[in-house]
C-alpha cells in the first residue's frame, strides 16, 4: 500500500505472481523484493540527441553509411499509354517545369533541395541553390 492507502503497482505485481504460482502449482516464483533487486533500467539505445560535441555525432555514426536513393527531377508529365507507344528516337516529351526553373533534389522521394544543372569534367551535376528546412519537409510530408 502507498501513502494514500491504495494498492501500489508493486502490490499488483506481487498479487499477480502469487496468483500465477497458485494456479500452476509451482513454487519457483521469486518474491517481489528479489525481482525488484534484479530489475535494471533499459538503456538499450544510445543518446542520439546532439550533445556537447563528439557525443552527439558518436551516437549517429552507425547510420552514416546507410545508402539512400538520391533523385534529381527535371519535371513531370502525364501522358496516355498510346502516346508512350508512339515514342521514337528524337521524340520530345513536354514537362511541367519551365526552362531555367530549379530542379528538385529528392532523397527517397522526399524533397530536400533545389538546384541548377552544371557540367563538371564532361559529367552532369547539380549545384544546390536552396535547401528545404526540416519544418518545410515536415509540412510537405503531412499534406
Q: Is 70 exposed, middle or buried (0-12, 13-18, 19+ CB in 10 A)?
A: exposed
Q: Tell me the CATH number for domain 65-141.
A: 2.30.330.10
Closest CA to 132 of 124, 141, 123: 141
pLDDT category of residue 140 using cuts at 50, 70 and 90 = confident
Q: In the chain, what percentage of residues exceed pLDDT 90?
A: 22
Tell me the mean pLDDT in the region 49-77.
Answer: 75
| Amino acid 25: pLDDT | 54
pLDDT confidence tier of residue 78, bands split at 50, 70 and 90: very high
Domain boundaries, the chain: 9-38, 65-141
DSSP codes of every residue in 19-78: HHHHHHT---PPPHHHHHHH------S---S--SSHHHHHTTGGGTT----EEEE-----
C-beta atoms surrounding 128 within 10 Å? 12
Going by pLDDT thresholds of 50, 70 and 90, the confidence category of residue 60 is confident
For residue 86, pLDDT over 90 is answered with yes
83 — pLDDT class (breaks 50, 70, 90):
very high
pLDDT mean over 19-44: 61
State the cell numbers at 97. 517545369
Task: Please check whether residue 13 is in contact with residue 39, taking contact to mean a CB–CB distance below 8 angstroms.
Answer: no
With cut-offs at 50, 70 and 90, classify the pLDDT of residue 113. Answer: very high
Amino acid at each position: 500500500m502507498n501513502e494514500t492507502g491504495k494498492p501500489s503497482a508493486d502490490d499488483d505485481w506481487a498479487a499477480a505472481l502469487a496468483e500465477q504460482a497458485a494456479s500452476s502449482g509451482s513454487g519457483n516464483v521469486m518474491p517481489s523484493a528479489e525481482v525488484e533487486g534484479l530489475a535494471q533500467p533499459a538503456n538499450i539505445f544510445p543518446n542520439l540527441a546532439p550533445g556537447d560535441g563528439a557525443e552527439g555525432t558518436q551516437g549517429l555514426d552507425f547510420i552514416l553509411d546507410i545508402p539512400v536513393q538520391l533523385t534529381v527531377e527535371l519535371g513531370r508529365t502525364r501522358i496516355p499509354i498510346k502516346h508512350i507507344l508512339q515514342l521514337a528516337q528524337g521524340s520530345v516529351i513536354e514537362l511541367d517545369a519551365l526552362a531555367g526553373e530549379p530542379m528538385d533534389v529528392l532523397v527517397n522521394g522526399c524533397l530536400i533541395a533545389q538546384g541548377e544543372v552544371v557540367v563538371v569534367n564532361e559529367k552532369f551535376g547539380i549545384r544546390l541553390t536552396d535547401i528545404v528546412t526540416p519544418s518545410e519537409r515536415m509540412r510537405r510530408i503531412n499534406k
